[in-house]
Chain A
């Protein structure tokens, strides 16, 4: 990143905020990352789908991978450590508190009622960045087809996303390589 250097403490703080509101998994993190990071000019709208795609291509927890990736773009290795520690600290503290003190948390009716309201909201928050990305990424009919194929394979046929990504990487790379040669 060019220009003003972002402080590690600031990276930690922003990712702690993102981590505290990521409910249910890495995808739910995307709208909050988009909001918090583009607000500060840390990331361009073009960069976000790249970060998501490449973070998914590595093993492990997706939210952690996204944090490592985004943190590195801001301040290198130190930035990725600050982002990752930031994004896991809230959940770490909350889980420790529950494990140590509130073993009855799950059976608390208030918690269950609040979550009945939160769960459908999370679905909407996953859909919003998807629509925004689709408008930028799906520029031709075959790109829409690619998106639809990925959707069907994962949601209907239970194919693991990693296989889909690997196949698409190989396909995309070969096609770009040969069409590049062709033009020359």
Chain B
């Protein structure tokens, strides 16, 4: 009974996280942290940090990875049963996706219906270049860190992603292979992993 209420609380928490995070995985992490570590105290700060590190290192969206891992850990800690951990991770992951489902289906319905209207096309004409800028920002954030001292920005390279000069070569080679070489991105990622093992 206690376990059931824990599962429901976990699902409800991740439902709220899914409904109220805008702007991707990293925005989601802080919300998960305040709920799981601070509000409910299901996990310690250090356990949560480990979970985030592993979620970043494994394939898949970071928000989903974190939800899966947190769901497993919370139920496993509470019951000591591995299969309950699996139940917890399924509950957290599905609950996280549920709000998106409802909202995106409404949007896609609207999109399908109005795709060819001139008003919609006009609005998208503004939205598409904006998305180009947002994607550029996502790439820049992985490369450069900005620290503000008053009104003066200070730039530094994100060392976790760009360890040394070889990293820049890898970036250039991957871009060339994908853009001009039209090589499958999956193969390029695998090549990056192999080169990482050989070079470092």
A contact set with B: CB distance below 8 Å = 17, 19-27, 29-32, 35, 49-50, 52-65, 68-69, 72-73, 77, 80, 84, 87-88, 90-92, 94-96, 98-100, 105-106, 110-111, 113-131, 133-134, 136-138, 143-144, 146-151, 153-156, 160-162, 164-165, 168-169, 171-173, 175-177, 179-180
- Do residues B128 and A49 form an inter-chain contact, with CB atoms below 8 A? yes
Residue of chain A at shortest CB distance from B89: A96
Q: Which of B4-12, B35-43, B67-75 contacts A (4 or more CB under 8 A)?
A: B67-75
Which residues on B sit within 8 Å (CB–CB) of A176?
118-119, 121-123, 125-126
Residue interface mask B156-200, A partner, CB < 8 A = 1: 000011110001101111110011000011101101111111011
Which residues on B sit within 8 Å (CB–CB) of A98?
54, 58, 69
> How many residues of chain B are within 8 Å of chain A by beta carbon?
104
- Do residues A120 and B58 form an inter-chain contact, with CB atoms below 8 A? no
Q: How far is the CA of A146 from the CA of B133 in the complex (A)?
A: 8
Asked if B61 lies at the interface with its beta carbon under 8 angstroms from chain A, I say yes
- Do residues A146 and B100 form an inter-chain contact, with CB atoms below 8 A? no
Known: A27-B138, A100-B85, A117-B197. A165 touches B21 (CB 8 A): no
- Do residues A68 and B160 form an inter-chain contact, with CB atoms below 8 A? no
Main secondary structure of the interface of B (DSSP, over half): helix
- Do residues B22 and A161 form an inter-chain contact, with CB atoms below 8 A? yes
Which residues on A sit within 8 Å (CB–CB) of B91?
none
- Do residues A150 and B133 form an inter-chain contact, with CB atoms below 8 A? yes
Can you identify 9 A-B contacts, CB atoms within 8 angstroms?
A23-B59, A29-B61, A31-B178, A53-B130, A84-B97, A95-B58, A96-B86, A137-B128, A176-B118
Q: How far is the CA of A138 from the CA of B131 in the complex (A)?
A: 11
Main secondary structure of the interface of A (DSSP, over half): helix
Question: Which B3-38 residues have C-beta < 8 A from chain A?
Answer: 18-28
Asked if B44 lies at the interface with its beta carbon under 8 angstroms from chain A, I say no
Question: Which B69-121 residues have C-beta < 8 A from chain A?
Answer: 69, 72-73, 76, 82, 85-86, 89-90, 93, 96-97, 99-101, 103-105, 107-108, 111-112, 118-119, 121
Which residues on B sit within 8 Å (CB–CB) of A29?
61
Rounded to whole Å, the gap between the CB of A97 and the closest CB of chain B is 10
- Do residues A117 and B130 form an inter-chain contact, with CB atoms below 8 A? no
Q: How far is the CA of A130 from the CA of B140 in the complex (A)?
A: 12
Residue of chain A at shortest CB distance from B191: A121
Asked if B150 lies at the interface with its beta carbon under 8 angstroms from chain A, I say no
